[in-house]
Structure 1
Amino acid sequence: MTSILEDVSNPKATCIFLTNDNPITYWYLLGQILYFKGPTIQSTQVKTFSKLSLFGVFMLFVLACSPKDQTEKKSERLPRIAIAGIAIESSTFSPAVSEMDAFRISRGNDIFNLYPFLADDAPNRNRADWFPTLYARAIPGGAVTRETYESLMEEMLDMLRENAPFDGMFFDIHGAMSVIGLDDPEGDMIVRIREVIGDETMISTSMDLHGSVSWRLAENTDLITCFRMAPHEDAMESKKRTVDNLLERLEHGLGKPAYKAWVAVPILLPGEKTSTRVEPAKSLYDKVARIADQEGVVDAGIWIGYAWADEPRNQAYVMVTGDDQEKVTEGATYLANSFWEVRKEFDFIAPTASLEECLDKAIKSEVRPFIISDMGDNPTAGGAGDVTWTLREILKRPEFQKTDGKSLIYASIPDADFVEKAIQAGVGGQVEGYAGARVDDRFSPPILLKGQVMAIEHGDPNAQTEVVVKVGSVSVIVTKRRKPYHRESDFTNLGLNPREADILVVKIGYLVPELYDMRADWIMALTPGGVDQDLERMEFKRINRPMFPFDRDMEDPDLQPKLVPVK
């Protein structure tokens, strides 16, 4: 505020008291100086002057400009945001291990290629100074070796040190990684990241809904969200929301959310029973958006958890973040109780049966393709992918032993040695050799395949090399390395038409969108493997108890949210 006292009889005695730094004040002063030609100035910041010289006028001009310039510089500085993460889900019930060659690693600016919302022409790209460091992702598999984990972490932390400090960080993880000899790897990861970037940096975490949110992870992240669909058709939308939430807080000076409500829900179910395509998960996840969209709430999530890791953290979780304590805590309570109330309603998304029953039904079917999910060895859930039990049972059936029998495509069996033999035989040649069960031979030994090589394809980023061998009426896909078969092009690139096959057997759980849209009929086979769907027959020793469905008659748990301290 500026106060002006004038002695009308002596305008040169005008006194001006400066009590703020508003630039308008200084311009007003300058006008007074020019008009009165020499006022006296009194200020809490400067001494009283009897007259202002030309130098004084110049100094007032500088004062008028300086605050404005400083404000502009502050608003023009973009937030500095790092990007980092490691993503894999790991079955501790599989004998497989995941080593460095299982990971596809992006570094530096190559990371931008993973996120369309951070492309060169995307608006978000210009809203921050981005520092992409290291992002490693792998097809689900066995537990990660400690050496691999430490190597990835050291490289990531070194890159963060080189580019620090940061205003924010986009932390992209799955949430179901297991590391040999280390519980809660994601919690360990974020704690070590905090040690490098400090507590002031705002971390926004993106997760798969099949991950787990340990207390350590909840404590060290500031913003957090997860997918709301299974299958994960909203994966990229969720990752973008993670970044949008971070940018919103940083750009508007909102700081970290004041409240984080966390609830551990004692439920452990497989994804094949919790698909959001059907009830009760469909309605349950509709509630998430309604909570997240409230004023005073930043985001909300329900984590189903990962069913095939025997670890204390593995169960379901709810988290809600925001600035309104009442809405945050009530929202978390509502979601947790909503989940608990429908726990007994979850069931497989499609009919299930033994493999024999599935094959009987498929053979009798008059529609094509009839899809069978070989669930127990699903590589996209953490199975080794090389269990031969299902393929052995198929090839034993007389309906498939002649070339003119029911056509069946089997995807797939990894075996590098067999692939090499097929390459030597060439397309059209005959090949004979054993395949599969190099990693997981608990249920069936390597299987003898003898047939004609129909296709050889090189260069797939996952399989590396793929071959198709015709054994009777069965087209068996054998790969050098594990590969999920989720898209129609995965088959057509090998000269196979899945739409025209009588039966399509895929190592998968619930069908991803392309296969789901392609199906004429579908059934899920309860087959053995590292991701067996019958959780109650698996030997869990370390999960928290009581836990549904292992303890069906357990008392209702305390689902009151815990408020996580803000870093």
Structure 2
Amino acid sequence: MRLFVAHLATETNTFAAAPTGLGDFEEIGIHHGDASVRDPEGVGAFIRYLRGLIDADGGELVESLSTLAQPGGRTVRHVYEAMRDEILADLRAALPVDAVQLLLHGAMAAEGVDDCEGDLAAHIREIVGPGVPIGLELDLHCHFTERMRTAADVIIAFKEYPHTDTDERGAELYRILKDAALGKVRPVTAVFDCKMVGLWHTTREPMQGFVRRMQAIERAPGVLSVSLGHGFPWGDVPEAGAKLWVVTDNDPALAQTLAQQLGREFWALRERIGPEACSIDAALDAAFESGAGGADAHGPAVLADVADNPGGGAAGDSTFILRRLVERRVANSVVGAIWDLGAIHVCKGAGVGAQLDLRIGGKCGPASGQPLDLRVTVRAIVPNHSQSALGTRERLGDCVWVEAAGGLHILLCSIRTQTYGTDAFTGAGISLADKAIVVVKSTQHFHAEFAPIARQVLYVTTPGAMSFDFAAIPYRLRSPDYWPRVPDPHGLSAI
């Protein structure tokens, strides 16, 4: 089997002011057919894993473009089109191929192109024709579109949030594409529009149980795959929102029945699965209370700064929680990673051990809050730092660890990215086990590594760039007919 593979991904926050440009992809890495060799633990991790599967089967992998960018505003159109056209040119040169497998995001939008994934898949279909199976692996925060469905033979989304199952879903998609290419299966898809906008963690019930429910349905005869696309709340595109789809082996009636059934089951959970976020002071009060538990209170309280998550398009430099830690004189705490190129430049010039007055954060607009002036000591300067990130490595760039009064430790990064791994801190020399509070710039991906060391995990709301008032997000392109903005968008007769 000759399989053509490419990886192009970013998650578009259409409300973000700054566009996503070529430099944002270059910052993480752009590889032209060699990512699995040049960056096997980073951008090339997916293709490297897939190459192992194909080699074991005695097949051949043709590797094309592999790149991704941190979430931000709409991608500059000519940047997207140049990357798309590179993939298409590589595909034409690789013909004939038996199948095409793409790792995309599903919520990538460019200037004038609301559905980059559907656009790419449609162009690929024009090249390979109707007889070559095309498969898309998507982030679960995707916008499942009709153009994607008609262009691709099978689409599979991650099931877990944080995304700990990317390899498993890639292997699942590969098996289906291989069987389709051999004529063993004929994938057909049915979709149910849940008409919901929100954010749902699969690390707790009832979402854990719903993931198990989807997996159980996948074991039924004739079912190839079940996916729930949660949607990306901060992507204002016409087909945004949660959708559930079922892929069967040439049984459209079964696919439709199961999609309707599972979609309605998910809808029935709507009041029980939202994020449990609290105010800064409520989180700090709860952290102090849990820390007073005596011998059973092990590890730090981990506070997620959910509204300032670079993984959702936020700047990563808000000071709301940091300022409150200072005002409340919270001792023995750590915050990071804060994106602040200016502060890093000043600290690098001063050197390790220097004491100085440093202005931190609050650089990128009202959603970042006001800069905070602190007297700090430069504890470490870490060139080209990186962190573990759900099975890959994510660059943080040059980082600086500074310490302020009361044992307040702050990690500054030069590449805007969310906090995934504990080694973002420990790799810079900051211990975590002895801290009372750890604040991470992340919404949920931190959970995989930080929850095991935490005595408590708390999700904290601030006036940051990512509003969690889902009913009030100012959509212009997406229909306002969704829950929680509308109590019953389906109508009583449908649910």
TM-score, length-scaled by structure 2: 0.88
1:471 aligns to what?
Answer: 404
Give the letter for the 1:261 counterpart: A
Q: Are residues 1:146 and 2:77 paired?
A: yes
Where does 1:91-110 land on structure 2 (aligned, <5 Å)?
91-103=13-25, 104-110=29-35
Where does 1:46-445 land on structure 2 (aligned, <5 Å)?
79-103=1-25, 104-111=29-36, 113=40, 114-115=45-46, 117-120=49-52, 122=53, 124-250=55-181, 252-254=182-184, 256-257=186-187, 259-270=188-199, 274-321=200-247, 322-348=249-275, 350=276, 352-364=277-289, 365-366=291-292, 367=297, 368-397=299-328, 399-400=329-330, 406-445=331-370
Q: Distance in 2 between matches of 1:137 and 1:308?
A: 19
Where does 1:465-544 land on structure 2 (aligned, <5 Å)?
465-472=398-405, 473-510=407-444, 511-544=446-479
| Deviation (angstroms), 1:181 | 2.9
| Deviation (angstroms), 1:553 | 4.0
Q: Distance in 1 between matches of 2:305 and 2:479?
A: 29
Change (3 A) 1:145 1:393: farther
Structure 2 residues without counterparts, runs of 5 or longer: 387-394
| Deviation (angstroms), 1:282 | 2.0
| Deviation (angstroms), 1:295 | 2.2
Q: Distance in 1 between matches of 2:375 and 2:21?
A: 32
Change (3 A) 1:476 1:340: same
Q: Distance in 2 between matches of 1:146 and 1:192?
A: 16
Q: Distance in 2 between matches of 1:413 and 1:488?
A: 15
Contact in 2 for aligned 1:264/1:316 (Cα 8 Å): yes
Q: Distance in 2 between matches of 1:142 and 1:136?
A: 17
Q: Distance in 2 between matches of 1:311 and 1:107?
A: 30
Change (3 A) 1:261 1:413: same
Q: Distance in 2 between matches of 1:545 and 1:83?
A: 37
Contact in 2 for aligned 1:93/1:531 (Cα 8 Å): no
Identity %: 26
Q: Distance in 1 between matches of 2:12 and 2:253?
A: 37
Q: Distance in 1 between matches of 2:489 and 2:131?
A: 42
Q: Distance in 1 between matches of 2:145 and 2:264?
A: 19
Q: Distance in 1 between matches of 2:111 and 2:359?
A: 30
Change (3 A) 1:212 1:240: same
**3-state SS in 2 of match to 1:427:** coil
* Alpha-carbon displacement from aligned partner over 1:161-216 (angstroms, at most 9, x marks no partner): 22122220011111111223321121112112223333322101111111111000
**3-state SS in 2 of match to 1:522:** strand
Q: Distance in 1 between matches of 2:57 and 2:494?
A: 42
Give the letter for the 1:161 counterpart: R
Q: Distance in 2 between matches of 1:463 and 1:117?
A: 23
Change (3 A) 1:467 1:157: same
Contact in 2 for aligned 1:177/1:185 (Cα 8 Å): yes
* Alpha-carbon displacement from aligned partner over 1:119-164 (angstroms, at most 9, x marks no partner): 45x4655442211101212233333222321222222222222212
Contact in 2 for aligned 1:297/1:323 (Cα 8 Å): no
Q: Distance in 2 between matches of 1:541 and 1:314?
A: 12
**3-state SS in 1 of match to 2:312:** coil
Q: Distance in 1 between matches of 2:63 and 2:365?
A: 37
TM-score, length-scaled by structure 1: 0.78
| Deviation (angstroms), 1:293 | 2.1
Q: Distance in 1 between matches of 2:141 and 2:327?
A: 36
Give the letter for the 1:263 counterpart: F
**3-state SS in 2 of match to 1:216:** helix
Structure 1 residues without counterparts, runs of 5 or longer: 1-78, 401-405, 561-567
| Deviation (angstroms), 1:377 | 0.6
Which protein has the larger Cα radius of gyration, Structure 1 or Structure 2? 1
Contact in 2 for aligned 1:304/1:317 (Cα 8 Å): yes
Contact in 2 for aligned 1:308/1:531 (Cα 8 Å): yes
Q: Distance in 2 between matches of 1:496 and 1:437?
A: 23
Q: Distance in 2 between matches of 1:380 and 1:279?
A: 24
Change (3 A) 1:182 1:324: closer
**3-state SS in 1 of match to 2:481:** coil
Which stretch shows the higher mean deviation, 369-378 or 133-142? 133-142
Give the letter for the 2:402 counterpart: V
| Deviation (angstroms), 1:555 | 4.5
| Deviation (angstroms), 1:95 | 2.4
**3-state SS in 1 of match to 2:226:** strand
Aligned length: 468
| Deviation (angstroms), 1:443 | 4.8
* Alpha-carbon displacement from aligned partner over 1:283-330 (angstroms, at most 9, x marks no partner): 222222222222222222111111111221111112222222332222
Q: Distance in 1 between matches of 2:167 and 2:491?
A: 36
